[in-house]
Amino acid sequence: MLAFDFWLISLIFIKFALYVSSFANVGFVLFSNIMWVQNSKLLAWISCWTFRSLLLSLTMTFLQFGFQVGQLAGSGFYGFLEFEIALLLLKGSVGLAFFLKLLAVLLIFVSFHHLFFKKYFAFSGAFIMALSFVAIGHATHAAVLLVPVLGLHILIVCFWFGALGPLYYILSQEDVRDEALRLLESFSEKAFYSVIVLLGLGIVAAFILLGSFEALFFSNYGLVIIGKIAFVIALLLLAFLNKYRFLPEFKKGSERAEISLQKSIVLESCLFIMIFAIVAFLTSAVNLPLNR
Amino acid sequence: MKFFITFFISIALLTVGVSAHSVLRSSVPMDKSVLEKGPEEIILNFSYEIRLTSLTLNQNNESKKLDFEIKSFAKMFSAKSPVKNNGPYEILWRGLSRDGHIVTGTFSYYVKP
């Protein structure tokens, strides 16, 4: 069985924090550029939280690398100082993912301070960050097809997750109801269809990784994926409620609908956080079936 | 808040149940085997190529790093085992798979008095 030790437990928590922070900053960047956010207060809010999440991403990227060295060295608490192991990791896909994350953080940071090529920096940063998550692990192990499938899967997750904070913020502001309505309508449309694509891509990725639908039900890895899919279906139900119930009522001026939308956003955030926890655990502690 | 704490504890507990899947195909001595005398060599046979980075022999609270020869990716690794007294032993191994995954695992054996 797997050696369930201090390093592995720490790495699961670090990976979880890395998912939350990186997906948030990529999401904020995608949201502000795709949705054409013009409101100055909302833009300031997005800038502030992008900067905070970038700092957390950067810290977690270094911590993750150090703890991976420590886990591989297996020589006590100071294992993360083993130079030979660090070099071995830097030469492989762990090193590639590490450098891609640093580059992505830099590009996203620059995108908020560059006037002319803002969008180019923003989208390149988002794309490279998504790529850094598929450069390592099962993605390079199973099939080449997994890279675009998982890359797109991650970008959609980021867009949705990164939209929740700004939407909650704009709903809590008194004088920007028109902008809130425009953003909610536009996002609701995109979110509803993107969750179906998300689910489809997730199932394709699971099938490529496991090799058969049978393995989805009869392997430990498959059973954890089913748990993840259950949370995604809950997200789909919330998206359905938002689009066909709360949003039309909000349009009519209902204050109750405004509160329902805010509650729905909080619930969606919780579901995302749970999915990130499952994936952090899945990609750290569970091995694929032996034949993969 | 209580819900989140419960959720994270459940995830941690789930690990114990799901972790039974190992990349180690077989070993000499076999996992949970009972031996007449201590083995002179430890052999690990993996399902796919890994780069073994650490091999530790544990007995009670005492642990000793074992030297192994191959310093590149391979399916099989061997190490000389110090012939020791009777009792339970545990081998802890750590390595890197070609796709960048860190893989770890343990197996144990018992030497009769």
For residue range A55-94, list pLDDT tens digits in order. Answer: 999 999 999 999 999 988 877 777 778 888 899 899 888 9
Confidence (pLDDT) at B101: 80
**Domain containing B83 — which CATH number?**
2.60.40.1220
**Percent of chain A topping pLDDT 90:** 38
Asked, for residue B16, whether it belongs to a domain, the answer is no
Whole-complex ipTM:
0.72
Q: What is the mean pLDDT of chain A?
A: 85
Please give the residue of chain A at the shortest CA–CA distance from B6: A274
Nearest to A4 among B19, B95, B96 (CB): B19
- Tokens 């989140």 belong to residue: B4
Q: At what angle do helices A177-210 and A146-171 cross, to 10 degrees?
A: 160
> Looking at the partner chain, which of A2, A74, A281 has a beta carbon nearest the beta carbon of B56?
A74
A69-88 in b/e form (b: 16+ CB < 10 A) is bbbbbbbeeebbebeebbeb
pLDDT of residue A96: 92
Is B88 domain-assigned? Answer: yes
Nearest Cα residue in chain B from A89? B100
Question: Which of A2, A138, A283 is the best mutation test for B, with the most CBs of B within 10 A?
Answer: A2
| pLDDT tens sequence across B49-68 | 889 999 999 888 788 888 88
Q: Domain span at residue B66?
A: 22-111
Q: What gap in Å lies between CA B89 and CA A223, rounded to an integer?
A: 33
Q: For A250-290, how does the pLDDT look when each residue is reduced to its tens digit (9 = 90+)?
A: 888 888 888 999 999 999 999 999 989 988 887 777 655 44
Residue of chain A whose alpha carbon sits nearest to that of B105: A2
Nearest CA to A219 out of A207, A229, A230, A210 is that of A210
Average pLDDT over residues A213-229: 76
In a domain, B78, yes or no: yes
- Specify the pLDDT at position B21: 39
Residue B67, chain A, CB below 8 Å: the answer is no
| Residue B36 located in a structural domain | yes
Q: Which of A100-109, A129-138, B86-95 has the highest mean pLDDT?
A: A100-109
A141/B98 touch (CB, cutoff 8 Å), yes or no: yes
Domain count of the fold of chain B: 1
Which of the residue ranges A98-102, A110-114, A242-246 would you say has the lowest mean pLDDT?
A110-114
Contact B91, B45 (CB under 8 A): no
Query: Does some domain include residue B17?
Result: no
Q: Which fold has domain A6-285?
A: Formate dehydrogenase/DMSO reductase fold (1.20.1630)
Asked if residue B13 belongs to a domain, the reply is no
Residue A94 to chain B, least CA–CA distance (Å): 6
- Whether B54 sits inside 8 A of A74 (CB atoms) is yes
Question: Is it the case that residue A235 has pLDDT exceeding 80?
Answer: yes
Compute φ and ψ for A98, nearest 5 degrees: -60, -50
- Interface contact A8-B51, CB threshold 8 A: no
Average pLDDT over residues A175-186: 88
Would residue B70 count as lying in a domain?
A: yes
CB nearest to B96's CB, from A88, A97, A287 = A88
Given CB atoms, is B97 within the 8 Å cutoff of chain A? Answer: yes
